[in-house]
Amino acid sequence: MDPFKSSSMSPSIKLPWLPVRTKMGWPRRGQIYVWITFTSLLLFFCVTLTFNGHVWKMFDSNMHLDEYDDANEGYGLRKLLEDPEARIERLRQEGLEKRLPQCIIIGVRKCGTRALLEFLDLHPNIKIADMEMHFFNKDENYDNGYEWYRKYMPFSTSKDITIEKTPRYFISESAPERIFRYNSSIKLIVIFRHPTTRVISDYSQVYENKLERNKSFEPFEKIVIDKRTGRVNTGYKAVRISMYYYHLTQWLLYFRRHQIHIVNGDNLIVNPLEEIKKVETFLGLDHAITDGNVYFNETRGFYCMKSGINQHCLGAQKGRKHPDIDPQVIRKLNNFYRPYNRKLFAMIGQKFDWD
């Protein structure tokens, strides 16, 4: 009996997805498998393209709509397929809004600002902006206004604290006054690291980026020391950034000392929980981040984050090994920074072991 014939199917009807019978009989089994495979692949690509088109349209309409994943845990596929405007309206009905930051991490570059931000993200009442916004230090961003700034903030409740981080604010001439005009009572966080170590870290990042683009780059010693005078080259931007005293002076023209919390970046590396607890106190929050949220990763060589069964470490570009530096150059840098460090300690009423 012909398996493709039945009393309810007319012989004149041709099914496009079935192989056609020839005078020599039905195609071989291999040909049938080819048709089945081709049909399955075509169907898969059609479904994939349709689904991805919908998801891309959703993300394109609001590139930061997924910043509040924790608030939507459990919604699963519905969250992906939900209309963006409908989702925003639902979040607002649940008391969630995109709020302007009540706290800003203003610096310093290569002192551990990203690590600090991600550790703080473990707190249930801290919501972080993933991007460095450069709102208060770049005219083209600042001219867009506060509503432009707000739309890149995470969703939060009225009990939460939103934090934004842009390390370049610390050395910006315009940022202190602009932030003061935005919110004169805002809380600011700055993180300091040994100034010489920070310069080397700064150099290491730029050096590796140059190598990846096959560009040449002078050795650290030739950049940091002026060839003509033999002194520390203050024309090198990385050297100037580590002169913390001068930059912090500009912030204290607008903000009171109690509004600025200073994190010990060197201690954050070896004892992150101690520094995190100080920040929680500064923000007026309960100590919700515990030793169960922090663990030392033997492979990476530094502390990582843990929330429930989820573990997270900073990217591979973080914690990079520093190049070997001539000890005489290191001593020269330490001597150069020592008077500036003493002025800084007197200004902030806090001392670090940088000698």
327-343 pLDDT, tens digit each? 999 999 999 999 999 99
With bands split at pLDDT 50, 70 and 90, how would you rate the model's confidence at 143? very high
With bands split at pLDDT 50, 70 and 90, how would you rate the model's confidence at 55? very low
Cis amide linkage into residue 190, ω under 30° from 0: no
- The position carrying tokens 């005219």 is 139
| Record: fold of 97-348 | Rossmann fold (3.40.50)
Residues 6+ apart with CB under 8 A from 354: 194, 195, 334, 337, 341
Residue 3 has a pLDDT of 42
Residue 87 has a pLDDT of 67
Chain center to CA of 123: 16
Q: Let me know: does 306 contact 292? Beta carbons within 8 Å.
A: yes
* More confident call, 135 vs 83: 135
- The position carrying tokens 């608030």 is 71
- Give the tens place of pLDDT for each residue, 202-219: 999 887 777 777 777 789
d(CA 121, CA 162): 10
Rounded mean pLDDT of the chain? 82
First to last CA, the chain: 95
Residue 39 has a pLDDT of 65
Q: Classify burial at 292, counting beta carbons within 10 Å of its beta carbon; exposed 0-12, middle 13-18, buried 19 or more.
A: exposed
Would you say residue 48 has pLDDT above 70? no
Residue 165 has a pLDDT of 98
- Give the tens place of pLDDT for each residue, 242-283: 999 999 999 999 999 999 999 999 999 999 999 999 999 999
Residue 58 has a pLDDT of 38
pTM of the predicted model as reported, rounded to 2 decimal places: 0.74
Would you say residue 236 has pLDDT above 90? yes
Would you say residue 231 has pLDDT above 90? yes
Residue 42 has a pLDDT of 65
Would you say residue 310 has pLDDT above 50? yes
Percent of the chain with pLDDT over 90: 60
Q: Let me know: does 244 contact 344? Beta carbons within 8 Å.
A: yes
